[in-house]
């Protein structure tokens, strides 16, 4: 039995969101490359790395993280009529990373349940797009990508409550996620 997100320590909820960000990173990187602006993906990675480092106790200054919020806002896509579908998963990636940063800077914020829902919705929307459906309803339909998302979220919850010190949990979770080399939409970066 797992602990509900609301009953977890604040850092565990941030770690959960950070894990979701790691899975969304290839979606953002692919989008930024499609725009001919791969440096935006590199900036996303740099900010995400800072959040991981903060959680592991390697970065103690909040000023670095405060400076990251406007940088992230600058690269957050604003969908328009002419945009391709890729703008939506890229936007979701940025929203998740923004949530993690805001939770670090203000410990009264807890967006973990919203982040979990957003990540599932990203996958559901993608399934609808690739299958040519108007929508995907996980209550009445099944898809391996959605099942994998649910399993990943369960794994992240379990990781955050391992009987180990915070730095070890964060480092092991980060390493495991980086080895997957695949986004929640099945996108692999070369």
pLDDT above 70 (res 62): yes
- What pLDDT does residue 83 have? 74
pLDDT digits 0-9 by tens, 65-98 = 999 999 999 999 988 865 789 999 999 999 999 9
pLDDT above 50 (res 4): no
Name 164's Cβ contacts closer than 8 Å, sequence gap at least 6.
Answer: 172
**How far is it, in rounded angstroms, from Cα 83 to Cα 35?**
11
| pLDDT tier, 5 (very low <50, low <70, confident <90, very high otherwise) | very low
Residue pair 73/108 in contact (Cβ under 8 Å)? The answer is: no
pLDDT digits 0-9 by tens, 161-182 = 998 999 999 999 999 999 987 8
Residue pair 52/178 in contact (Cβ under 8 Å)? The answer is: no
What percent of the chain has pLDDT above 90?
75
| pLDDT tier, 183 (very low <50, low <70, confident <90, very high otherwise) | very high
For range 40-66, the mean pLDDT: 95
User: What domains can you pick out in the chain, each with its CATH number?
Assistant: 8-180 (1.20.1590.10)
pLDDT above 50 (res 2): no
Residue pair 50/66 in contact (Cβ under 8 Å)? The answer is: no
């Amino acid at each position: 039995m797992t602990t509900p997100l609301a009953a977890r320590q604040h850092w565990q909820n941030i770690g959960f969101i950070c894990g979701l960000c790691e899975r969304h990173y290839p979606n953002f990187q692919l989008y930024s490359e499609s725009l001919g602006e791969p440096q935006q993906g590199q900036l996303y990675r740099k900010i995400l790395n800072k959040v991981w480092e903060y959680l592991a106790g390697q970065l103690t200054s909040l000023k670095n993280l405060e400076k990251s919020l406007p940088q992230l806002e600058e690269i957050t896509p604003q969908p328009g009529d002419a945009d391709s579908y890729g703008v939506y998963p890229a936007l979701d990636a940025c929203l998740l990373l923004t949530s993690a940063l805001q939770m670090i800077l203000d410990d009264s914020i807890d967006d973990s349940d919203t982040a979990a829902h957003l990540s599932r919705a990203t996958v559901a929307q993608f399934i609808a797009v690739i299958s040519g459906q108007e929508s995907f309803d996980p209550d009445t339909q099944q898809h391996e990508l959605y099942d994998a998302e649910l399993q990943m979220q369960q794994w992240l919850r379990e990781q955050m409550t391992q009987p180990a010190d915070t730095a070890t949990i964060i480092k092991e979770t980060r390493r495991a996620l980086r080895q997957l080399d695949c986004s929640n939409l099945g996108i692999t970066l070369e």
